[in-house]
Amino acid sequence: MRFLFFDTSLDRLTAGLAREERVIAEHSEDCPRGHSDRLVPLLRDLMAVAGLRFEDLDGIGCTRGPGTFTGIRSGIAAARALGLAANLPATGVTTLDALAHTLICVEPAKAPVTAVIDARRGELYFRHFRPDGTPVGAPLRAPAASAKSHCPPGRRLLVGSGAAILRDVLGCGVPRTDIRAPSPRALAVTLNRALRRHRGHGYISGPKPMYLRPADATPPADWRQPPGEA
């Protein structure tokens, strides 16, 4: 399976091409804003460098949040549009799953993992995982000050932009503050698994965004999703 993947949910833009779980082309850059302006030209360039056409692909994958509202919206719109135009399945994974696998893909985790994003406004987005990357419960949003009540006891690895914040709240944990966004490898691994079930199919309804906090702008009705759904 060959597929195009991208992450626009945070302050970094990452895109690439993968064959199964192997990345065959990639690009990452800091992108605090303007994901929608940069994404499509970047995807076009990646396809050209790899010498591939859309008819050579088997799917499109992206992160679907949580993260910044505009970034998530840009990625979801691009995945849906490309999937529809090329009649390819388009699907997504949560940003927190991809973040956790960014750590786990490097080396097996020796403890449970919590992927945590600084949601600003004194809040965190987070999700707990077993050492093998299996999620434990749904993605959560909570004030940083009360996040401890949502965390299992014991030592854990913390990854993401909110790792140091959660470590200070818990009074324990090993923060990996160098990992603030999903890696190309982690995106390839998680999205390959998500796309497997759609192999050989044409366009499906496309990924739905995960907004854990109400947006300042209201998304279209068919994009809304209960926060507890993963």
Residues 6 and 90 grouped into a single domain: yes
pTM: 0.91
In a domain, 228, yes or no: no
H/E run at residue 117: strand 113-120
- Among left, alpha and beta (phi > 0; psi -120 to 50; other), residue 133 is left
Residues 137 and 60 grouped into a single domain: no
Residues 64 and 7 grouped into a single domain: yes
| Structural domain span for residue 86 | 2-94+182-223
pLDDT score recorded for residue 24:
96
pLDDT score recorded for residue 227:
53
pLDDT score recorded for residue 198:
87
pLDDT score recorded for residue 215:
64
- Relative to beta strand 12-19, strand 22-30 is antiparallel
Residues 105 and 50 grouped into a single domain: no
pLDDT score recorded for residue 206:
86
H/E run at residue 157: strand 157-159
Domain count, the chain: 2
Residues 186 and 171 grouped into a single domain: no
At residue 170, what are phi and psi to the nearest 5 degrees? -75, -30
Residues 137 and 208 grouped into a single domain: no
Residues 109 and 210 grouped into a single domain: no
Mean pLDDT per 10-residue interval, the chain, length 230 residues: 97 97 96 92 95 95 96 96 95 97 88 96 97 95 97 94 96 92 97 91 89 72 54
| CA dist 188 → 32, 61, 134, 137 (Å) | 23, 9, 17, 23
Question: Do 7 and 97 touch, CB atoms closer than 8 A?
Answer: no
CATH number at residue 118: 3.30.420.40
97 CB-near residues (< 8 Å, 6+ apart): 115, 127, 129, 133, 135, 190
